[in-house]
Amino acid sequence: MESPEETQKIIQKAFQDPITDLLLKNSNLTKTQFETLMIDLLIDVMSEEKIPFKEKTLFRAKKVSRGSFSRTLGQGRRRVISSIFTIVLLSYVGVYDAKPFEEYQNLVEKLREYLTAIEGSGPRQSKAMLRRIEEELTEGIEALSRPTKLKMV
């Protein structure tokens, strides 16, 4: 397993990514819940052994107790699960067609293309591209949530 410092660098890199920042601001997760979920997932992926919460707390940017870490992780997980249930519910009652995640997957793929383009461009181009991404992402998600889009099929 990587050291707490190396894992912290990976997490901080995610927070420095402007697309992650944009998505997080518009998600139903707090920054702390997102950080805690990332730590829990990264440590489970990078370690072959079970790491207790007490040790996972060392990876947080701000020192917290085991109970606080556990509580924040539970809150984040519940919000993620709730979001998935909401989409499945709307699909079940006919608001979305049979493939509710397909259009969202298209948005995610477009974001990955933008990220690749940003990484290969200069700082001025990156800022302009990021503004365009934000506008297109906002428009795309708003379009998916318009009353004409949210209708019984």
**Mean pLDDT, residues 114-128 taken together:** 76
Q: Both 38 and 102 in a single domain?
A: no
One domain for residues 116 and 135 = yes
- What pTM was computed for the model? 0.74
Residues 71 and 103 in one domain: no
88 and 127 fall within a common domain: no
Judgement on whether residues 126 and 63 belong to the same structural domain of the protein:
no
pLDDT at 152 over 70: no
pLDDT digits (tens, 9 = 90+) for 42-82: 888 877 788 888 888 888 888 899 999 999 999 999 999 99
| Same domain for 87 and 111 | no
Alpha helix ranges (H) inside the chain: 4-16, 18-25, 31-46, 53-56, 66-92, 102-119, 123-145
Domain that holds residue 116: 94-153
